[in-house]
Chains A and B, each alone.
Chain A
């Protein structure tokens, strides 16, 4: 049992910090660069991602284990996963709208954007590739999305500060954001010592 917990903990640290989803695997860059203008919207996007990625990795893990593997259809994983994720996002949105309206008001605008977030599909595929069990898959999904939230909130904080800086004309906007993200990626390399 304690051994199990140790494995889960190591998955957690690896997925959230060492192999940070945006800064070292480059998944989910569109929202990372697009929704990081203000800390509040970055945090909202992060929370929506935690919610969807964790649920999606659970559902995709179950489908892979109990439907695709027994029927020998694993080569269909890409098609099945993307459809499941699209449906799931749609379903989560409807569910929140009807039953948890307060949460819907906070996360609502970000949910449709998440379907195009390649981190969701990426995590589902990586879980299969690493042969994680269902529980390990859920933990890795949770940790990955927490890592995403950490990175996007830090970037938003830096961008808010940079608003007032004097940046060379050609570097204004996207190039400056990319340079900042590059420096963050160097900083995150430091976490590889944790492994």
Chain B
């Protein structure tokens, strides 16, 4: 169009691998910006390790299903695309589940029913529908990879906060509290910390996420005040629109910012 290069996220060339990767990681981070896939985000983030494993499992499924759907995009008829996507996604989820069962049984135990539930994670379906089914194989793969890693980072961060405040550990290593591994006077100070166990309980998940989104909102407002373009924050998914229609209201969610 007019001989100009189409620009995507962060001013990079649209649909190049790097642009897609960074788009998922930062500009359209599925958890913190698009607010997709809330169930695993809250359920498995009792520790940073659980968050990381869940994130990586989702990344594998997302990248592979994006790749496969992009390969088959001219073969799958439009009318049956949704069941076809579901079968492709569910196949990769089953593969990941069986692999985890075989090689990492303890983590599989900890994540439980949430591994098969990756099938209904709206991030994966959303990317299949919105991106992979309309673009080439290589950008689709990197889109999946970027989105997956964006999700991984977000839920690892939530897991880190919950584990650190709630149990005083980081990736299972005791930092705060009585059994601290830090020696000397610093350790003595850290040892006085009493873990707030509510943060590893269910309600802690809601609180941590609420504060993370509130901080995002604040950053967004500051950016808007400085006159920067915040339109990319306003992206909402198809599911959000559907939910809003069902709700009978046309209000913009906070995730999308004040219109």
Q: A: which residues have CB within 8 A of B? A: 23-31, 33-35, 37-38, 41, 45, 75-79, 82-83, 86, 109-110, 112-113, 116-118, 121-122, 125-126, 129, 168-176, 178-179, 181-183, 185-186, 189
| A170: chain B residues within 8 A (beta carbon) | 214-215, 217-218, 221
B98 interface contact, C-beta 8 A: yes
- Interfacial residues of chain B within 227-259, with CB under 8 A of chain A in the complex: 239-240, 242-249, 251, 253-255
- Closest B residue to A111 by beta carbon equals B246
Contact B246 A110 (CB under 8 A): yes
Contact B90 A113 (CB under 8 A): no
Q: Report whether over half of chain A's contact residues are helix, strand or loop; otherwise say mixed.
A: helix
CA distance A77 to B98 in the complex (A): 12
CA distance A22 to B107 in the complex (A): 23
- Interfacial residues of chain B within 39-71, with CB under 8 A of chain A in the complex: 39-40, 42-43
Contact B214 A45 (CB under 8 A): no
Contact B247 A28 (CB under 8 A): no
CA distance A172 to B214 in the complex (A): 8
- A78-B93, A113-B242, A182-B203 known; A175+B254 contact, CB < 8 A: yes
- A34-B243, A41-B248, A178-B209 known; A26+B43 contact, CB < 8 A: yes
Q: Report whether over half of chain B's contact residues are helix, strand or loop; otherwise say mixed.
A: helix
| B254: chain A residues within 8 A (beta carbon) | 172-175
- A79-B87, A179-B206, A183-B203 known; A174+B255 contact, CB < 8 A: yes
CA distance A167 to B202 in the complex (A): 24
Contact A175 B214 (CB under 8 A): yes
B192 interface contact, C-beta 8 A: no
The contact of A122 among B42, B117, B210, B214, by CB within 8 Å, is B117
CA distance A147 to B253 in the complex (A): 26
CA distance A95 to B240 in the complex (A): 27
- Closest B residue to A79 by beta carbon equals B90
B125 interface contact, C-beta 8 A: yes
In the complex, per-residue mask of B189-221: 1 if CB is within 8 Å of any chain A CB, else 0: 000000000100111111101110111011001
Contact B42 A26 (CB under 8 A): yes
| B205: chain A residues within 8 A (beta carbon) | 26, 182
CA distance A163 to B91 in the complex (A): 44
Q: How far is the CB of A84 from chain B (nearest CB, A)?
A: 11
The contact of A175 among B83, B90, B204, B213, by CB within 8 Å, is B213
B119 interface contact, C-beta 8 A: yes
B94 interface contact, C-beta 8 A: yes
A-B contact pairs, 11 of them (CB 8 A): A23-B202, A24-B202, A82-B119, A110-B246, A113-B242, A116-B120, A175-B254, A178-B210, A182-B204, A182-B207, A185-B202
- Interfacial residues of chain B within 57-106, with CB under 8 A of chain A in the complex: 82-83, 86-87, 90-91, 93-94, 97-98
